[in-house]
Structure 1
Amino acid sequence: MMKTIVWFRNGLRIHDHPALAAAAASGTVLPVAVLPDRPPTASDWWISKSLEPLSKRLAALGSPLVIQKGSPPEVLARLAADTGADALFFNGQIDPAARKEETELLGLGGLDNVKISRFEPDMMLDPDVLLTKSGTPFKVFGSFWKALQQEKIPWPVPAPDTLSSWREADFLQSSSLSSILNDGQSWSAKFGQYWTPGEEGSFERWEMFRDNGIQDYETKRDYPAIDGTSRLSGFLASGNMSIRALWHAVKRAEEEGDVQQPEPFLRQLAWREFAYYQLHHFPHITDQPLRTEFQHFPWMNDAAGLAAWKAGETGYPLVDAGMRELWQTGTMHNRVRMVAASFLVKHLLIDWRNGAEWFRQTLADYDVANNTLGWQWIAGSGFDAAPYFRIFNPTVQGEKFDPDGLYIRRWVPELAQLPSKFIHAPADSPGDVLAECGVVIGETYPAPIVDHKTARSRALAAYDSVKGHKERNR
């Protein structure tokens, strides 16, 4: 019987876990999770909370989870030597940092006599299979979506019924789950008010969405004051839920008559797949624009503007509400996320990589592929991105998607008493209305840090300069 270490990376679940299923079928199993030895981020909170139920589930199956902290390649090599493991199995990941870990792992001399197997990443399809007729990667989502629908998405791998370990449960000292967090990031503790990470939590959230939300997804998902989205992003980002399992769950619900209009949500799952697909084929896009002419974009070094944006103090209520929701809950409504990102890039002309880094630190549902695609899309530097002239007006967006100001009232309480007709542009509101509602522009709530019309003209001029580089490069 083979003695296999199963490295739990991003697939923090039992169902549809190819590496775990293969290890269980071939012998005894030692599940291992390695916590990063670096300052924690919001998504580390989600991971730590996911490991708690995962550890209990694995122990109930017969092989407790070992949790260590440090460099994954070094920790795994040491564990393999200490335990006499024959094999090391893990599910692959496609982001550059994870692939570097895999390369380092394969190059460690201490694992020369250990069979190392990398199983497929958490995607619906092998990204090298879905290509254009000329054999190149798809660059336009519409064409990618059509091609994806022609493919048969593999069924999820069944969860093992039982596991056995060749070591006693207390043989290896596990790190404390709380060690992933520190006092400097205690703000993440409040996320527990909003999320229940873990495999079971993902199933419960899907069932709630299936029964109460998916039917109206297309018409409600853009309105941040209502529960119109799936709220599954954190579960997918951490691998609490398999993307293939979710795809088939939606299809099954449609077949059984529980869901009548699944395509809008399935398209969103396909966008997630497209993000992973692009990162696989173009791994440099985490810090470089896909469209090379954007290397010449005239970004501004505006430290004060960046700080105001992070703090939700821009003077634009919808943007500020989104940034404060992010800090409080570890996530942000997708419509508001687009508006807030557009504000940073196009109103302030601040490099999208600054925004991507802030989201990396503060998103509990952080996903490097989705984050990269989203920022490149809003900046106009990615394939099939938003056109350069699409510059969201934060005031108009608020009036359209939060007409009664309910979302703003929740996250920007200093504006809560303003009438709906004034809440989206408080700086332009009559003085007597502001006074009656206890709002003092510049004191209780900031004045806009940039004028929309001026910012729009400045952004269009900047994008015109990029177009010039594109012409010269032809």
Structure 2
Amino acid sequence: MQEQAPIVLWFRRDLRLSDHPALTAAAESGRPVIPLFIHDDIVDQMGAAPKWRLGLGLEAFKASLANMGSRLIFRRGDALEQVQRVMAETGATSVFWSRAYDPASIERDKKIKSVLATEGVTAKSFSGHLLFEPWTVATKSGHPFRVFTPMWRAVQGREVQLPDAPITALKAPVSWPASDGLSDCRLGGAMNRGARVVRPHVQPGERAALDHLEEFLDRIVQYSDLRDRLDQDGTSNLSEYLSLGEIGPRTVWHMIQRAALTGTRGTDAFLRQLVWREFAYHLMFHTPQLVTSNWKPEWDSFPWNTDPDHPEVTAWRQARTGIPVVDAGLRQMYVTGRMHNRARMIVASYLTKHLMTHWKIGMEWFEDCLVDWDPACNAMGWQWVAGSGPDASPFFRIFNPQTQAEKFDPDGVFVRHWIAEGHAEPGNTALSYFDAAPRSWGLRPDANYPKPIVELSEGRTRALRAYESRKPH
């Protein structure tokens, strides 16, 4: 009977049918498989945009499972309680899932494994979200890496397992457990009218992810030259798919490696960025304070502004700082749900240095607004720019938005694309910002563009003075 008892396959940030070790193991067991998604506290605490995007991904994944005769069961509530209920309703004796690495998920999963073990239930976690499990990568002295370049060198030639083949069939249980409706989860509730604006810019699902990868491979030769250009489509556009697991990192790695074997330019630069994502997870796993407090504790005494409603922060949040490239980056995020990586650095530097505002305020705002939000990458990105994270030259790197715009948007195409004020006939993308912005902000495209809330030279001087005068913690 044990050999025929169903397996509950708990899906989280792994919404795909290929390159999926947990799914492969469940399918190859020959036992009935019950795909399950749980809207628990960790899901509920996600920001508006990533939670809405998760809902779109789940809808696409539900359809993929239905196409091969399976189902995705939805449950709301405590994760342990819902797993236990589904197992009791179906006679399942095992539960599989793909590992998560953020502190809250690790604590939840350990508790569930421990309780289920006392009940005689097999609870097994699998890799799949990363190329390398964080505990398998270490310095020569056996310690976790704290600097990226040595980690890149350590894994650059390391073998990455080939991705699992797509699963095309799952054995169904004798009877399916009850399921909540996906709409009952209200994953998009907090997006309000922004959902209508962002939706045309989002293509959810595994098929769309693979199509994006194929399209990127056609232009990867330009990646090294264009990836920082704000006015060019030089990046992979894979971040949201990797974040939700609609594509596996091993799939991406090996597709890029195959291109590298043919001598295609740009592959090494992109693989380096893929390992940068691994580095973020490596840090979050080994130093979980990365997502909640200064990675370097000596920064605890730095005089950050911690008031999220400070007028300067409000102007930044509303993309009305008077610094065009900063405002353009934020408006791109409100309209598309994403922001160019170079713009993210400029926007974050301006908040944390010119405005002297704590990185957590910016990190939490991005968490609310980005459809490609990733707990590790978001936290590390903000701490790296702010100076409190793993950066060899922390605070002296103060991005000058003006010179950054001159270098990466030399003809002002990016800024014009997103800033409507001051233009007689602004484009649809620039106007869409005013559709996405909350009505309570009272913004209009025919208003005057604001003067800088802080002059760049003044902000830089203020930041450096604070850095130089701060006392050790």
Deviations 1:290-333 (A, max 9, x none): 21111111112451111111110100000001111111111101
Percent identity between the aligned chains? 38
Q: In structure 2, which of residues 441, 445, 455 is the aligned counterpart of residue 451 of structure 1?
A: 455
Q: Give the corresponding residue for 2:255.
A: 249
* 1:110 positional shift: 9.8
Q: Give the corresponding residue for 2:440.
A: none
- Residues 81, 215 of structure 1: CA spacing in aligned structure 2 closer, same or farther, 3 A cutoff? same
Gaps of 5+ in 1: 419-438
Q: In structure 2, which of residues 38, 47, 52 is the aligned counterpart of residue 34 of structure 1?
A: 38
Distance, in Å, in 1 between the alignment partners of 2:295 and 2:83 is: 35
1:165-204 matches, cutoff 5 A: 165-168=172-175, 171-177=177-183, 179-182=186-189, 185-204=192-211
- Residues 176, 111 of structure 1: CA spacing in aligned structure 2 closer, same or farther, 3 A cutoff? farther
1:381-420 matches, cutoff 5 A: 381-384=388-391, 386-416=393-423
Q: Give the corresponding residue for 2:62.
A: 55
Is 1:351 paired with 2:358? yes
Q: Give the corresponding residue for 1:116.
A: 123
8 A Cα contact 2:306 2:361, kept in partner = no
SS at match of 1:209: helix
Is 1:10 paired with 2:17? no
Quick one: which amino acid aligns to residue 219 of structure 1?
A: D
TM-score for both structures, normalised by structure 2: 0.89
Q: In structure 1, which of residues 233, 238, 252 is the aligned counterpart of residue 239 of structure 2?
A: 233
Gaps of 5+ in 2: 426-444
Q: In structure 2, which of residues 457, 465, 473 is the aligned counterpart of residue 461 of structure 1?
A: 465
Q: Give the corresponding residue for 1:373.
A: 380
RMSD of aligned C-alpha atoms?
Answer: 2.1
8 A Cα contact 1:40 1:180, kept in partner = no
Q: Give the corresponding residue for 1:261.
A: 266
Distance, in Å, in 2 between the alignment partners of 1:339 and 1:55 is: 38
Distance, in Å, in 2 between the alignment partners of 1:87 and 1:412 is: 54
Quick one: which amino acid aligns to residue 31 of structure 1?
A: P
Q: Give the corresponding residue for 1:436.
A: none
Q: In structure 1, which of residues 270, 275, 282 is the aligned counterpart of residue 280 of structure 2?
A: 275
Distance, in Å, in 2 between the alignment partners of 1:447 and 1:190 is: 27
Distance, in Å, in 2 between the alignment partners of 1:342 and 1:329 is: 21
Distance, in Å, in 1 between the alignment partners of 2:174 and 2:215 is: 40
Aligned length: 444
* 1:454 positional shift: 1.4
Distance, in Å, in 1 between the alignment partners of 2:266 and 2:364 is: 36
Distance, in Å, in 2 between the alignment partners of 1:221 and 1:305 is: 30
Q: Give the corresponding residue for 2:142.
A: 135
TM-score for both structures, normalised by structure 1: 0.89
Q: Give the corresponding residue for 2:324.
A: 317
8 A Cα contact 1:77 1:111, kept in partner = no
Q: Give the corresponding residue for 2:299.
A: 294
Q: Give the corresponding residue for 2:339.
A: 332
Distance, in Å, in 1 between the alignment partners of 2:302 and 2:37 is: 41
Deviations 1:193-215 (A, max 9, x none): 1120110010010111111x211
Distance, in Å, in 2 between the alignment partners of 1:445 and 1:183 is: 29
Deviations 1:405-450 (A, max 9, x none): 11111111114469xxxxxxxxxxxxxxxxxxxx99xx51111111
